[in-house]
Structure formats: C-alpha cells, structure tokens
Structure 1
Amino acid sequence: MATITTDRSIQLNAFEETKTGVKGLVDSGITEVPAIFRAPTVVLDNLKPPPASQLTIPTVDLKGGRVFLKKQEGSVTRRGVVVKIGDAAEKWGFFQVVNHGIPLDKMEKMREGIRGFHEQDTESKKRFYLAITPENGFTTATSISTPLGLRAGEIPSLISNDKFISVEHRVVANGAAEPRISVPCFFSSIMKANPREYGPIKELLSEQNPPNYRELTISEFSNMYGTKELNTSALHHFKI
C-alpha cells in the first residue's frame, strides 16, 4: 500500500507540473482515463448495485437569508434550518440549498468562466497556475436545476466523531452532448499557518461514545490527504 500511495503521489506531481490540466491529457491523444483518476479495480468490482428507484438529495431552503433575521410569523426559523442541515449531514453527508442569495445569472457566468478557462491554450493558462501557490452504495440521485450542493467533508466528520458523514463520491460521465461543468470550492484554513489542533468535540463524547480520532492540525491532515490512495479516507490514519 505504501508503494501504491508513493507511486500515485509521483504521478500526481508529474501531472500538475505539466500545467495543462485534463484538457492537456485529451489533447495528448490518451485513449483511456489515467490510473491516478480511477478507483482501484478491487473497489469497482465490489460496488453495490444501485437501488431500483432514484433517490432525491435533501434540499434545504435558506429563504434568501431571512432565516438569520428575527422570527416572523410564517417564516422558517434559523433553528429549523440548522436542524435540517444537521439531519442531511448525518444521514447523507451531502445536501443542496435553494434561495441561497446567489443570483442564478452569477452562477451561470461562473460556469461559463470555468469553461472558457479550460478552453484556453496552454500558455495562456500557465500564468494562472503559477499564481496559485451512503451505506447503500452509489446511486443516481435527482438534483435540482443549477444546483448548489454542499458536502460535509472529513473535518466535520472528525469533530462530530463520525456523527456527520464524509460521504464517498465519484464522477460518472453523463453521456450528454454538452460537457458537465462542476465548480468545486473548498473551505479550509490549509493555506494559513495554524497550530490549533482539532479533534472530536468534547461535549459529544462519553463512555458510550469515546473519541474515534486523535487530535490533529490542519497541516497534518492536508499532508496526509495529498498522499492518500483513491477511495480511502485521510481520517483512517488518525483513528485511535
């Protein structure tokens, strides 16, 4: 496993050094998806079949930000939204939000910008690169149009002592004429020096619910995340 992890790290570094991205791979004439982007064969061979019917991803209505105002008759309270988000993070590890206050035309322009960036020639893109230092198996789930989806991730799973799910996910080609455009945004303090240690919230722990992980810094987590093998969790390395 150590050799596999090291090999993948070397391959990822080589890929990032090209500064050409996935489009560069396509332009190079590759005939199959590189191994660094594929789940191991043993994982693919043991995937559980999807349920017979589609599932609907939880959707939380933020009411255009009104949930943060004083309670008004007929309005959804902040507490109600918090409960819905907690429920989705606990049962799914992923949810969508509507009425989030981001204009849809701004979201569309962002996607167009991403598409335009990846269609630029390699030399034009290099200056941008250089400026940047569920238990049931996979299933096809129904999503809303122009979705804004949120994934709990591994740090919330750590501090909640696994109450919130760090859901495993993958990308599957949709077969449509137009390519799917996804814009991932990561909220973390990885880029800033931070000596603080994070661990399961002590108020959640008891004799019946002992800590599953030791405390760690964001830097420790980041270093492990960058070298881990596909389909494995960085948190496994910090289990008690």
Structure 2
Amino acid sequence: MANFGVAAKYDRTKEVEEFDNSKAGVKGLVDAGVNTIPRLFHHPGAVSSPASPSSNPSLSIPTVDLSLPRARVIELASAAAREWGFFRLVNHGVPREAISAALSAAQAFNELPAEAKAGYYSRKVGGKVTYNSNFDLYHSDVASWRDTLQVVTGAPTPLDAEQIPEVCRRELLEWDEHALGVAKRVLGLLSEGLGVESGRLEENKCLELRVLVSHYYPYCPQPELTLGHDGHTDVVVLTVLVTNEVEGLMVKKEGSHGEWVMVEPVPGSIIVNVGDTLQMISNDEYKSVEHKVAANPHKKARVSIAAFYSPPSHLDSVHYGPLPELISQAKPARYREFTMAEAMGIFASKKLVTKSLINHFRI
C-alpha cells in the first residue's frame, strides 16, 4: 500500500495517481488501517456529523403512499416534485426482500478482497460495468470518501450480464427490473400531475437509458474532514434510490435558506428524486433537488443503489426541452432545446455541481 500521507510540499497529482493506481479504492485505505485520511479527500466546509432531522415541520421529507386512491397519489407526488423534487415511496409493492438482497449483494462485492475487485476497476468512458472511486477523481477539486460500482443496463447497446460480478449479478439484475417498474409508475403519476397523459414522459424515451450506481461508504476515521458525496443535483430525468439503515443522505429544499435536512433511513421504502432534465422538460414545474452524503462515522458501511433514468445520448436527431403543452404566453419556455448528447457533454466537461445543466440551458 502506497504512502498517502501529506508531504511537506503537497503534490495532489501524485497523491491522486498513487491512490488510483492502487485500484483498492477507499475501502483499501480502511483495510490498511489508515487513521488519517489523505489530503486529497479534505473537503472545505465538511460537516462533523449528519444533520439531525429538522424540527421545522415544513422541512419534513414528503412521503407518498402508493396504496392511496390514484387521484390522491398524483396530488401528493406532483406536489412533492414541485416543492422538494424529492420524496419517499411506501406501499409500493416491491418486496422488501428484493431491496435487502440487492443492497447486501452490492455490499458483498465491495467487501471482496482488493485483488478480486481490481479486474473491474476502470475509468473507461462508455464501459457497461465499471468499479472505481470517484468518477471525477482527476478533474474535481477534492475527492469524496466512497467507492462505486456502476452497471449500465439499458441503451444504447445490450448488457452482457456475464460482465457483472457474480457475487451481485442476479440481485442487481432483479433490482433493475423492480426499479424500472417503480420509475414507470412514478413517471406516469408525474406526467398526470403536469396535466398531460400518463405516458407522455415515457414516450419521450425518458426511461430508455438505465444506469445502476451502487455507492459504498466505508467507515471514515476523520468524518469531520470530508464528505461521502459532495452537494449536487442529478442531471438525469429521475432517480430511484434505496439505501441500507446507515444514515448520511441529506437534501436541501429550494428556498429553505440553505438548511440541510437529514433523510432518515426507512427500511423497505424507496426514494425518488427529480433530476435536472425533468426540471427542464417540465418547464420548471418540477424541481431537481440538491443532495449530499456525510462521511460515514460508523463501523458498518453505508450502501446505496441509485437507478438513474434519462433519454439515451446517441440519438442526435432528437431534441429535448420544455413540453409544448406546458408553454404558454403566461409561461414561455424557460429553456432552449438540446440533444442529450449535448447535455451529457456539458455534464462531462464540468465538475459535479448543483444544476449544471439548468444553468447552461436556461433562456
């Protein structure tokens, strides 16, 4: 294991390269017994511990009960998407065992010996299955305390399931199907909440590109110095997220005067958040949500699986922007049209920041 300590004259490039070349990720540092985290992980303004649930009732995370009458569910989901861009689903019909199995399998992969994971470690753009630590390691200002396994399950080319590590293959593929069912259901509800037909957003290929991103947040010996994930909004249309019982996720409601709200883990629930692309397609009716993850101070790892959905970027002839039905003289289009290739190019060229697409395409 290389020495990642702080030298008298700090050389970030060297430290990044040594860390990346080890292919052991943050878990490798923990396994090596580090008590002082490398400087490349030092976050200005990091929090010492996750924020407590807010006592302000207006900052309570919305919950949408899918067992309620459809009209009421549409009302709740669309209100949450407008006011928060974030909500928790309960009574969604997905077996709790399927959620637990997927999270346990993802954890099992990350806790394999470093040499067993090294063959999957890659920064290849366009790879269907990749494992690494911090996808933006080389162009971000600071790294976050997490490792990630990413599986592209839909569009533009089919996934060869044999590429997925065997220890989590079956469980992740099963979760991909469950999560897609949830995403279709939610997108239908949100479509109707905009006053258009339930299939309107799905017809726009908003669910065609599917990416499973499993983040693994191991114990951090100095959580006050870093973050598990820096603050950002998702660039996609929709994110469907499940986590284990270890807390850490925080969201910031637009207009809440900068107050971060702790998202309490609720076993068996599913979290949905609106991405930048849906905010633009909805012409600002729905809002993408800024969120971050505190570094994990617990010995038990925090594990999450985010399923990201968006139109594919290979269709250069297809343009996106506010739905025509949502544009009027009273509320003109607030974004110019764009292709997903252009949107993903903007995302790839910028650091992971809040509403990077929103700011770029706004008229």
Between the aligned partners of 2:41 and 2:341, the Cα distance in structure 1 is 23
So what's the TM-score if we normalise by structure 1?
0.73
**Aligned counterpart for 2:61 among listed residues 57, 72, 80:** 57
1:25 Cα offset (Å): 4.9
- Structure 1, unpaired ranges of 5+: 1-10, 45-49, 64-74
Secondary structure of residue in 2 paired with 1:146: coil
The aligned counterpart of 1:7 is none
Return the letter of the residue paired with 1:238. Answer: F
The equivalent residue for 2:345 is: 223
Q: Which residue of 2 aligns with 1:201?
A: 323
**Distance in 2, Cα, partners of 1:171 & 1:223:** 25
What is the aligned partner in structure 2 of residue 120 from structure 1? 112
**Two-structure CA RMSD over aligned residues (Å):** 3.4
> Which structure: greater strand fraction?
2
Report SS of the residue matched to 2:310. coil
Higher mean Cα deviation, 178-187 or 120-129? Answer: 120-129
Structure number having the greater helix percentage: 1
The Cα offsets for residues 163-202 of structure 1, whole Å up to 9 and x where unpaired, read as 1111100102464442222111111244x62221110112
- Indicate conservation of the 8 Å contact 1:56/1:143, yes or no: no
* Structure-2 residue corresponding to 1:32: 37
In the alignment, is the contact (CA less than 8 A) between 1:159 and 1:201 conserved in 2? yes
Alpha-carbon separation, structure 1, partners of 2:37 and 2:349:
23
Q: In the alignment, what sits opposite 1:98?
A: 90
How far off is 1:88 after superposition? 0.7
What is residue 308 of structure 2 aligned with on the other side? 186
**Structure 1 position 22 matched with structure 2 position 26:** yes
CA distance in 1, matches of 2:35, 2:347: 27
Percent identity, aligned pairs only?
A: 34
Q: Quick one: distance in 1 between partners of 2:82 and 2:260? A: 17
Displacement of 1:211 after TM fit?
Answer: 1.6
In structure 2, the residue matched to 1:145 is 267
Q: Could you state the TM-score of these two structures normalised by the residue count of structure 2? A: 0.50
The answer to whether residue 76 in structure 2 is matched with residue 76 in structure 1 is no
**Paired residues, number:** 212
CA distance in 1, matches of 2:306, 2:90: 17
The Cα shift of 1:19 comes to 4.5
